[in-house]
Structure 1
Amino acid sequence: MTKQTSNLNGLLVVNKPKNMTSFGVVARLRRISGQRKIGHAGTLDPNVDGVLVVALGKATKLIDLLQSRPKTYTGTVTFGFATESQDADGAVVLKEPLTEAIDGEKLAAAFQSLEGDIIQIPPIYSAVKVKGKRLYEYARAGEMVELPERAATIYHFKPTSSLRWVANQPYQAIDFEATVSKGTYIRTLAYDLGQKLGLPATMTSLTRQSGSGFSIDEATDLAELMTLDESGIEKKLKPIADVLPYERRELTDEEFTWAKNGRKISSWPKNQDGYYQLHYQGKLVAVYAYSDEEALWRSRYYFL
């Protein structure tokens, strides 16, 4: 039974275990924290572990900002078979047993060719929406649908191991690290790596090492969080101000009254990035954004 709503505001950096949905993590944290207003910044598939940033209370206003930040993953791609979901959870749809080792120079070139701005076609078993329905809903209903193209940026995609034969299987595998933009499908990246080599490929493991500005070293295992009470959860929270990349501005008494009432402000000069995080007497009040069209500052996020 969910507790009465608490007053917790901030960010929890969770080390999500495998075999659990991101929604399942949020549901458990809602129950133990007592905070009903809670959400996560960037879904992890059930078979993926690693960093899941969870926002509580007023921090939920920042989910879009947090999701927009790059994410880094480590994982394994296996060559020689492909699945309907492009990861190890899906049914195998193609097998092409390897009879000789993959050429190392060709593999290095394939990795390099996928860095930069690319277009992905996500797998049919994904949560991408087309005409109001998620792709996996079409797949489960046996309905045909045109798969959409999605832009992604791959900042870094490199092998982190040598190629190796999979034990007792005619397949080869290699470990990798990838830093990518919002909306990138790593399993599609693994599949596309195989396509560059003319081979079926499947992402067979994946861990999110960092996301939303936090690394796995800062994350707490979900199992540990589940042993804490509300005060224990509060001690684990990252303050909202810690994730704001904007210049800090201390408010006068008069300016605090303006910001508290959401008033537009024209007396401040425009700064370099067009944002201020506003503080008053040690408390975060709001984030203001500069409007070039109106030539003034207006409230973007409000935290009181």
Structure 2
Amino acid sequence: MAKEASTLSGLLVVNKPREMTSFGVVARLRRVSGQKKIGHAGTLDPNVDGVLVVALGKATKLIDLLQTRPKTYRGTVTFGFATESQDADGAVVEEKALTEPLDEEKLRAAFSALEGDIIQIPPIYSAVKVKGKRLYEYARAGESVELPKREATIYRFRPTSTLRWEAGKPYQSVDFEATVSKGTYIRTLAYDLGKSLGLPATMSSLTRTSGSGFDIDEATDLDELMALSEEDLAKRVKPIAAVLTYERKDLSDDEYFAVKNGQKISQWPKNQDGFYQLYYHDQLIAVYAYSEEESLWRSRYFFA
């Protein structure tokens, strides 16, 4: 008899290891959870570790919401060389040996200058799509393509260490912390930091310390999750309500019938953030969003 499909729904906060793709994490958790409907919020490059939020079952409906939330990273930028991918995995395309220490005050000013709303041009070795193909596919095929411009918001970008010389090399490195919006390329941020100082620069290490509303101290190592039984894994799954910050509304019987059938609702007054998380008999049923155009409430996510 075929194994019954899992009905597990919720969120797993994974501490993704390096040398693994985000897709690889999802594939492994699909096997151990038995849940075929599974996805992740916010891709991490193979050489980046840290917080990766994986959604299972009905929680996959929230991936678009989870990806809009700010993310925080700790990393290192190295001045003196640049690569084609803007991180340590790419081939070196520019070098400029440093013969004297960088000015710490100018460095701090360069960090601050990149805070706020900015425009980024992602590296050719990235997964950004142009005309149906990812940029790295153009690069591997030796084809030229105009690199797109992307808007990003840098909420915080600050050095967290003093500059240090790399052992036996004419390079200097500094650690940093960055809190950024969806779609920000941290390696491009590091590259642009160097560019503002007139130097080639490379993001030499990176860890995501928070994402989709969860911090790294809430994350579990992938190997630990893989060693759990389905029953024990289910205990690590956070409920969908754990990521909803909207005002709660408890439904009457008539309201529940309307929500269950996806009906629009005009009787509810508009609240401050324009969203309600809806409960019936203490069970999360749906999220409704207010439509300014229609002056009524519409179903955004349905879970029950």
TM-score for the superposition, normalised by structure 2: 0.98
| Corresponding position of 1:152 | 152
Query: Match for 1:110: what amino acid?
Result: A
1:149-298 pair list within 5 angstroms = 149-298=149-298
- In 2, the alpha carbon distance for the partners of 1:38 and 1:9 equals 9
CA distance in 2, matches of 1:112, 1:3: 55
Give the conservation status (yes or no) of the 8 Å contact 1:74–1:178: yes
The residue identity in structure 1 corresponding to 2:284 is L
| SS across alignment from 2:73 | strand
Q: Aligned-pair distance for 1:4?
A: 4.1
Task: Write the distance in 1 (CA, Å) between the matches of 2:303 and 2:195.
Answer: 48
Q: CA deviation at 1:266?
A: 1.1
CA shift digits 1:246-275 (9 cap, x unpaired): 100001111111111111111111111111
Shift, 1:142, TM fit: 0.1
Give the drift of 1:192: 0.4
| Structure 2 residue identity aligned to 1:186 | I
Q: CA deviation at 1:108?
A: 1.0
Counterpart check, 1:109 vs 2:114? no
Counterpart in the other structure of 2:11: 11
Q: Where does residue 138 of structure 1 map in the other structure?
A: 138
One-letter amino acid of the structure 1 residue matched with residue 237 of structure 2: L
Q: Which amino acid aligns with 1:82?
A: A
- Partners of 1:202 and 1:159 in 2: CA distance: 15
Alpha carbons 1:3, 1:32 under 8 Å: kept: no
Q: Distance in 1 between matches of 2:288 and 2:211?
A: 24
Identity of matched residues, %: 78
Higher deviation after alignment, 201-210 or 96-105? 96-105
Q: Which runs of 5+ in 1 are unaligned?
A: none
Aligned to 2:82: 82
In structure 2, the partner of 1:99 is 99
1:31-70 alignment to 2 at 5 Å?
A: 31-70=31-70
**In structure 2, what is the Cα distance between the partners aligned to 1:218 and 1:9?**
18
User: Which deviates more from structure 2 when the two are superposed, residues 214-223 or residues 103-112?
Assistant: 103-112
- Residue identity in the other structure for 1:268: W
Over residues 179-232 of structure 1, what are the superposed CA-to-partner deviations in whole Å (9 max), with x where a residue is unaligned? 000000000000000001100000000000000000000000001000011111
1: CA distance between counterparts of 2:122 and 2:176?
20
Partner amino acid for 2:150? R
What does the per-residue CA deviation read over 1:9-39, in whole Å, with 9 as the maximum and x for residues that have no partner?
A: 0000000000000000000000000000000
TM-aligned CA deviation for residue 3 of structure 1: 5.7
Gaps of 5+ in 2: none
Q: For 2:113 and 2:50, how far apart are their aligned partners in 1?
A: 27
In structure 2, give the amino acid aligned to 1:39. G
